[in-house]
Amino acid sequence: MTRPTHAWMVRAGNENELADVVEKESVVAIGWDKVGDISNLETREQFKERYREAYPEDSSNRVAVNAGQVYRFVREIQEGHYVLTYIKTSREMLIGLVKESYEYRAEAYLDHYPHVRQVQWLVKVSRDDFGPQARNSMGSTLTVFNLDDYLDQIHSLATGEEVGAPDEEEEAPPFYEEVKARADELIADTVSHLDPYDFQDLEAALLRALGFRAVSASPGPDRGVDIVAHPDPLGFERPRIKAQVKHRQGAAGGPEIRAFIATLRDGENGLYVSTGGFTRDAEVEARGAREPVTLLDRDAFIRLFLEHYEDLEPEYKAQVPLRRVWVPAE
């Protein structure tokens, strides 16, 4: 057969629940069913816009990543390309050829996988037949991704043709960074969906996890200070921290930081938390403040939150439930 020019991985569902279906029906299928029939969309930007309409609660990062995968499945994967899918129970990889263009099936597989490509499965091989770099790449957390770097190995396994054995001694690049990035994205989504007052209480809990006595103000008119924290029970010891918490999409600007700085007395430190980030004017105001002021955006909050997660009170762990995942060091 003519050697295909591209190879793709399409996972068999979030939990590998489609493994039997895709093999039996000779298809690959993906979810994101809320976007509906997308056969008329052409550009990546059109896919992003449709995805954003279907999933308005998703962060901009998640929109870009997921819409990109849907675009790849519909437009970049072509007839005659190799397609692979993993069977977790047997640790085997199905290798096949894409036979048809994109098809939308309203009666979706398992209710949530309506986007379909017809496939001719050629062979089923052990995951261990691939070299270490290929195996690590195939461990990506994405649903749809490119495997062109391993086209020689895939073609050899699909056809039996010798194209040079992979170097089993080569050092496989770790995929920790990718797993961490995906986890950070999901944690950010969870934090973004918290009620503003719940997020304020979570920030106070984080300060307590850092060793401070922190009290969060009750819901009501904004008086410029949401949390007061100090090292000792009576509030005499320094540093005494006043915190303002803004849980929203918009960036905090210079006027807001100036108003907050005005609440600080001599010897008090300021902490301004804004999940929407800060404008350049806000950063300038904070640097020029008479009393020390620290700005904490969403990413910085999440880094600090993860670092001290184990020290949080149980009720606040329950707001953002996490579990430890072990990743091989080599």
- Give the pLDDT confidence of 276-311 residue by residue, as tens digits: 899 999 999 999 999 999 999 988 999 999 999 999
Confidence category of residue 174, pLDDT binned at 50, 70, 90: low
Q: Which of 13-22, 244-253, 294-303 has the lowest mean pLDDT?
A: 13-22
211 in the same domain as 119 = no
Confidence category of residue 176, pLDDT binned at 50, 70, 90: low
157 in the same domain as 197 = no
Q: Which residues contact 12 (CB under 8 A, 6 or more apart)?
A: 18, 19, 21, 22, 28, 85, 86, 87
Confidence category of residue 135, pLDDT binned at 50, 70, 90: confident
Residue 141 belongs to a domain with what CATH number? 3.10.590
Is residue 187 included in any domain, yes or no?
no
Count of domains in the chain? 2
Is residue 42 included in any domain, yes or no?
yes
313 in the same domain as 269 = yes
pLDDT at 164: 56
149 in the same domain as 23 = yes
268 in the same domain as 223 = yes
Per the prediction, the chain carries an average pLDDT of 88
pLDDT at 58: 85
59 in the same domain as 126 = yes
> In this model, does residue 172 exceed pLDDT 70?
no
169 in the same domain as 262 = no
106 in the same domain as 55 = yes
> In this model, does residue 186 exceed pLDDT 70?
yes
| CA distances for 295 relative to 215, 216, 252, 266, 275, angstroms | 19, 18, 10, 19, 10
Phi, psi of 47 (to 5 degrees): -65, -40
83 in the same domain as 211 = no
Q: Which residue has the higher pLDDT, 85 or 180?
A: 85
Is residue 130 included in any domain, yes or no?
yes
> In this model, does residue 330 exceed pLDDT 70?
no
pLDDT at 153: 94
SS3 275: coil
pLDDT at 301: 94
59 in the same domain as 134 = yes
Q: Which of 270, 192, 259, 266 shows the shortest CA–CA distance to 222?
A: 259
Helix and strand numbers (H, E) in the chain are: 11, 12
> In this model, does residue 163 exceed pLDDT 80?
no
Confidence category of residue 167, pLDDT binned at 50, 70, 90: very low
Give the percent of the chain with pLDDT over 70. Answer: 91
Confidence category of residue 89, pLDDT binned at 50, 70, 90: confident
> In this model, does residue 34 exceed pLDDT 50?
yes
Q: Which residue has the higher pLDDT, 217 or 284?
A: 284
- Which domain range does residue 51 map to? 7-173
Confidence category of residue 17, pLDDT binned at 50, 70, 90: confident
Give the percent of the chain with pLDDT over 90. Answer: 60
Q: Which of 204, 206, 200, 205 shows the shortest CA–CA distance to 219?
A: 200
Is residue 185 included in any domain, yes or no?
no
Is residue 322 included in any domain, yes or no?
no
208 and 313 Cβ atoms separated by less than 8 Å: yes
Rounded to two decimals, the pTM is 0.56
Q: Which residue has the higher pLDDT, 168 or 152?
A: 152
pLDDT at 47: 95
Is residue 328 included in any domain, yes or no?
no
